Structure 1
Amino acid sequence: MALFGSVYHPLTYLYNGASWILCQNTIAPSCVRTSEPEAYRSSPKSTATLARKEMVVTTHHLASKVGEQILAQGGNAIDAAVAIGYALAVVDPCCGNIGGGGFMLIRLANGKEIFLNFRERAPLAATPDMYLDAQGKPIKSLSTQGYLAVGVPGTVKGLDTALSKYGTMSRTQVMAPAIALAKVGFILYDADAKILQQAKSKVQSDPAASAIFLKQGSRVYQSGDRPIQTDLARTLETISQQGVDAFYQGQIAREIASYSQKQGGILQIEDFTNYKVTESPPLRCSYRGYEVVTTPPPGGGVTLCQMLNILEGYQIPKLERTSSQRWHLMLSAMFFAYRDRNTYLGDPDFVNIPVKRLLSADYTRSLRAQIPQQQALSPKSDTNTPEGNNTTHYSVIDRQGNAVSVTYTINSYFGAGVVAGNTGFLLNNEMDDFTAKVGVANSYGLKQGEKNAIAPFKQPLSSMSPTIVLKDGKPLLITGSPGGSTIPTTVLQVISNVIDYGMSVESAVNTPRIHYQGSPNWVLTEPFALPSQTVQQLWDRGYKVVPFVSWGAAESIGIDREMREIWGVNDVRKPAGAAAGN
């Protein structure tokens, strides 16, 4: 098992035991020189935790502890998931949030399955060309930084909907731990400090944000510091005592709308009062006798299921896991799924999405027939690069067998980089997930279609794919990941590692990953993902294989059929995370 780190020279990438040198703006095997630091030959300690009754896995150890305590107090998995959501807003501010939105996938012990969609929505004053200049070209950073980038947040209403309909505890009970963490603060570990140190460039232009996320408003936090978030504590207390109306109709909404209007944004109080959470059946598909329960549009589940459908037609388990033939088939499935994602998918309340056709057996066979025996499919080449860890995912199962998979986000690291007045929390920059201009890539290199164009109160297309895998009607795997466009391929590889190659959940999560979306025409690989021979063979087939070091953390839970053993796995890519269970 590889040890993941970040010891990379700006022009040198450690890959597969060699240093890959960026030469003349391209990366190729001809640039290889052999060198492998000793640290990369060692193995990390286990990131798996065994429990007998219940388990939570999150991207921060304190949030995991909160979830564990809620379960120990008699709460169910939904109670724990809501408490974790609020706790992460305090301890993981880059990605945890109450200023963003997300998806919650619930499978109750009685078999009922629920998909809660609390994704952000475009403000009512949004227009299709709001990020274009007079010549029709996208204006740099307008959809990613500042108030014009902000979508209407859905997290607070989403968490409250889950709690009121499927939880057992009160809002006051589940929010108390987050309020305490904000009031008293928490000691930063190295991993926490490194995340906050990345905030400086994003928040330093906003006085309210820099006052919270920079020490004394100007210096980066260090390991051992204890940041206290008084304004956030006050906001959380208000929500705890007054409910969601405090956020969507009261002072919080008015403060956000006021600051937005003053700072060039378009949010108004009506955006908040009109916001609604939707509840629907999840998307289901199958893979080699296993049931995969995941997100319908606007989530990434169609992309995930389309890849699984294509791969099921091949004897993947008989192929060596790191062979070029296995990866040729995997990359071809990724290519078709992302092509169709960018062409057909969007908000189902606004556009007609042919989900049944995209996942039909006939259409899947037609895609397999187009996969060349030896050569890569040939998309247009460009040089945009997807970004990585910026969302957050967590998984929960309780002793009754209720399972919850949650992915929520403020989009980029530290969202839009703005905090409205004394609210104490960062706002999202989710508007960048819309198609600002057809044919022009967004922050993740995705060239999306007209179906994802901006419209008032529309939800942007998402890659988030919280997923639960069942065998014989019982939960086997709860998973998901942050990582923007890499989310569906991350979930795909975790599932394939478990089902096709019989890996433990720990190995399935921590094995190095690969991502391909056709455009940009680069195959992104994590260090040590492939042997050198396989890399060369993929280049010979026409794949441009390049190293990439920013990947999401697939915080996952594996369960045996009788729930005698529950394994929680904290992804090694998020050292601040933890699994905790009873």
Structure 2
Amino acid sequence: MSQIPRRVTRGAIAAGHSLSVEAGMEMFRLGGNAFDAVAAAACTSFAAEPMLTSPAGGGFLLAHPQSGQDVLFDFFTQTPCQKRDPAEVNFYPVIVDFGGVLQEFHIGLGSIATPGMMAGLFRVQQHLGRLPWSVVLEPAIHLARQGIEVTPFQAYNLKILSPIVLASTAAQALYAPGGNLLQAGDRMVLSDLADSLSEMALKGVDLFYRGEMGQQIVKDCQAQGGYLTRTDLEQYQVIERKPLRTDYRGNTVLTNPPPSAGGTLIAFALRLLEQIDLSQFKFGSIAHLRILAETMRLTNLVRQAGYDEQLDQPNFADRFLSREHLEEYGQPLQAIAGLGNVNLGNVNLGNVNLGDVNKRGSTTHVSAIDEDGNAASMTSSNGEGSSYVIPGTGIMMNNMLGEADLHPNGFHQWRENIRIASMMAPTIILQNNQPAIVLGSGGSNRIRTAILQVISNLLDFQMPIAQAVSSPRVHWEAGVFNLEPGFPDAGDDRTFPFDNVVERWQAQNMFYGGVHAVTHSLDGFAGAGDSRRSGEVGVQNE
């Protein structure tokens, strides 16, 4: 790597792969800050975490700069500017087997939304980073070129997404050379991706949006049944938003604002939960689990009341989180906590089919914090991938137009040229206006419940960060209470506050998200990578 004559920066970074973490740590050793570390880790994840993220996906980065205003960089995917006859569109279903549970996804060039990943990373790093862009990309380029040993988690991802990997010869060449999926222990060499990142290191990301790569994307989409045009790529804009701000137990919580969905729902759940003094309950007790279940049930209930349709309205978050609105939902939770009485059997749960929920959540996350008070929380995704690989680049495009949970009104019914709503919720918790906790998660609809529980573990039960992340989780949705093992007082199914299904899992699973988190306190830096998604952490305290 290039040698930059700067002092080593103390800090911490957590991500979904040890090599992603190491790339961020190298930026700290070169004197870079949290934004350099996150950008380097994210670019490395394109090689180290295949099928979870990509230069052709999208994401969000929540930034707390040492100086300046908190800002949410929105570089998620955008719907195309124009539609075409669905009969002309290359858009088809594949069935993914999650170990006996089947789920349908749609791929092909017609599933590709306008990507924002490289535009977003470049904007953040250029505005807030310290190191040259070319240096930030060096770890990713080096690792992609020399090859990466496939981990069991990577092999698992490739196996369950094999219908997508095997759907095109270009995708097979990357992840199933000779028609055989890469297995744990195999070496995965991504030379074309290394060349692509090398070009972007020298020429910037305009190469992707206005240069040869972009021209190839447009050419293939127009000829082979995709929506994207030159206008989509050339006019894509990274949006800087004011983060959603709420309080919890005297701490300031910053998260993703509307029009994304996840952050506001987390804030709503936290405000409900704050009405209960959880310190009087034992972690994992029946009372605690009842409170979590009811908080999640009420949050789902409020989402059914036209929530998604109102996200882009002015001042929506203020109205949604107002005391008057919260009072409508607080009484059932207080009853569960023993502060009143309510008959939960009479509450209308609505018509939700859990079969429509993305059970995997093809997402990854990076959290970083440094000694100067910079903090960055970034969540990104490529969907499941469209199977279309830009020729000669090693880059698979996203399938965000083929994600059922992102398009509740049906495929091809999206509004043109708007930012797609997401459940991603990169989050930072401030204490005395200084970043104390940085976290986020993958996991589709489980993102918000995973983040909620880790925050509660940290602030209500005063757990160390590693314990807060590794502790068992629950998830309530569509009448099903999913329960990880490890709660000693869980009892039998009759102990829970509804007449629906209790799903007891036999082991911790990526279904429950993957919270990668870092903290800073008087004791120094610490962090945790979620083992559910093969997470790792790196800490530089000296």
Q: Look up the match of 1:474.
A: 434
- Partner residue, 1:208: 170
Deviation at 1:473, TM superposition (A): 1.9
Residues paired across the two proteins, number: 507
Letter in 1 for 2:525: I
Counterpart in 2 of 1:577?
536
1:314–1:293 Cα change, 3 Å: same
Checking the alignment, whether the CA contact within 8 Å between 1:346 and 1:353 is kept in structure 2 is no
Aligned counterpart in structure 1 of residue 279 of structure 2, from 317, 324, 333: 317
- Distance in 1 (alpha carbons) for counterparts of 2:350 and 2:488: 25
Equivalent position of 1:267 in the other structure: 228
Summarize the Cα distance change of 1:169–1:421 in structure 2 as closer, same or farther, 3 Å threshold. Answer: same
Root-mean-square deviation (CA), in Å? Answer: 2.7
* 2:387 is aligned with 1:429: no
Written as runs of structure 1 = structure 2, the 5 A alignment for 1:411-422 is 411-412=383-384, 415-422=385-392
Shift of 1:224: 2.8
1:284 to 245, 251, 255: 245
Aligned CA distance change for structure 1 residues 323 and 306 (closer, same or farther; 3 Å): same
Larger relative helix fraction: 2
Greater mean alpha carbon deviation, residues 234-243 or residues 528-537 = 528-537
Tell me: CA distance 1:269–1:171, structure 2 relative to 1, closer, same or farther (3 Å).
Answer: same
Question: Which residue pairs with 1:521 in the alignment?
Answer: 479
Match of 1:408 among 374, 377, 380: 380
| 1:262 Cα offset (Å) | 3.1
Aligned equivalent of 2:420: 460
Equivalent residue runs for 1:6-25 within 5 Å: none
| C-alpha distance in 2 between matches for 1:340 and 1:264 | 38
Q: 1:151–1:429: 8 Å Cα contact kept in structure 2?
A: yes
**Structure 1 CA distance for aligned equivalents of residues 105 and 185 of structure 2:** 35
The amino acid of 2:494's aligned partner reads: Q
Find the counterpart in structure 2 of residue 502 from structure 1. Answer: 462
Change (3 A) 1:465 1:86: same
Write the distance in 2 (CA, Å) between the matches of 1:570 and 1:82: 17
Amino acid at match of 1:171: W
SS of the counterpart of 1:369?
helix
- In 2: Cα distance, 1:189 partner to 1:280 partner: 37
SS at match of 2:485: coil
* Closer/same/farther in 2, CA of residues 333 and 317 from structure 1, 3 Å limit: same
Q: What SS does the corresponding residue of 2:177 show, helix, strand or coil? A: coil
Q: Deviations over 1:253-282 (max 9, x none)?
A: 111122223332111121100100011221
Alpha-carbon distance between aligned partners in 2 of 1:131 and 1:508, rounded to the nearest angstrom: 49
- Residue correspondence of structure 1 range 143-542 to structure 2 within 5 A: 144-216=106-178, 218-299=179-260, 300-342=262-304, 343-345=306-308, 351-352=313-314, 354-371=316-333, 373=341, 375-376=343-344, 377-380=347-350, 382-384=353-355, 385-412=357-384, 415-431=385-401, 432=403, 436-438=407-409, 454-517=414-477, 520-529=478-487, 531-533=489-491, 535-538=493-496, 541-542=498-499
Letter paired with 2:134: T
CA contact (8 A) 2:245 2:253 kept: yes
Determine the C-alpha separation between the residues in 1 that align with 2:147 and 2:499: 52
Q: Which residue of 2 aligns with 1:65?
A: 22
In structure 1, the residue matched to 2:71 is 114
Preserved contact between residue 358 and residue 405 of structure 2 (Cα < 8 Å) = no
Unaligned runs of 5+ in 2: 1-7, 95-103, 336-340
**Do structure 1's residue 98 and structure 2's residue 55 form an aligned pair?**
yes
Note the alpha carbon deviations across 1:96-144, whole angstroms, 9 max, x for none. 32110000011122363111000000111248x96999xxxx9856973
Distance 1:363 1:553 in 2: 31
| Residue identity opposite 1:174 in structure 2 | V
Change (3 A) 1:332 1:64: same
- Distance, in Å, in 2 between the alignment partners of 1:352 and 1:453 is 23
Return the offset for 1:351: 4.5
Task: State the 1:430 CA deviation.
Answer: 1.4
* One-letter amino acid matched to 1:527: P
The corresponding residue for 2:3 is: none
For the 8 Å contact 1:344–1:353, the answer to whether it is kept is: no
Cross-structure match for 1:566 = 525
Q: Secondary structure at the match of 1:144?
A: strand
Structure 1: runs of 5+ lacking an equivalent:
1-50, 443-451
**How far has the Cα of 1:510 moved from its partner?**
0.6
1:291-326 Cα deviation digits (max 9, x unpaired):
101110133110000001111112222123223333
SS at the partner of 1:104? strand
In the superposition, relative to structure 1, how do residues 525 and 298 fare at CA in structure 2: closer, same or farther (>3 Å)?
A: farther
Residue 19 of structure 1 corresponds to: none
Q: Following the alignment from structure 2 to structure 1, what is the Cα–Cα distance between the partners of residues 225 and 25? A: 42
The answer to whether the 8 A contact 2:319-2:325 is kept is yes
**1:25 aligned residue:** none
Query: CA separation in 2, counterparts of 1:579 and 1:535?
Result: 40
Write the letter of the residue equivalent to 2:184. Answer: S
Is 1:553 the counterpart of 2:505 in the alignment?
Answer: no
Q: State the secondary structure of the residue aligned to 2:395.
A: coil
Q: Could you say if the C-alpha distance between residues 220 and 578 of structure 1 is closer, same or farther in structure 2, counting changes exceeding 3 Å?
A: farther
The percent of aligned pairs where both chains have the same amino acid is 27
Q: Per the alignment, do residues 459 and 336 of structure 1 end up closer, same or farther by CA in structure 2, a change over 3 Å counting?
A: farther
Deviation at 1:198, TM superposition (A): 3.4
AA aligned opposite 2:395: F
Higher mean Cα deviation, 89-98 or 190-199? 190-199
Report if aligned partners of 2:528, 2:536 keep a CA contact under 8 Å in 1: no
Q: CA deviation digits over 1:28-82, x for unaligned, max 9?
A: xxxxxxxxxxxxxxxxxxxxxxx99311111010111110011110111111111
Amino acid at match of 2:242: P
Give the whole-Å Cα distance in 2 for the aligned partners of 1:323 and 1:580: 33
Q: TM-score, normalised by structure 2?
A: 0.87
Aligned residues of 2:50 and 2:154 also touching (Cα < 8 A): no
- The alignment partner of 1:115 has SS state of strand
Whichever residue aligns with residue 469 of structure 2, its letter is V
AA matched with 2:170? A
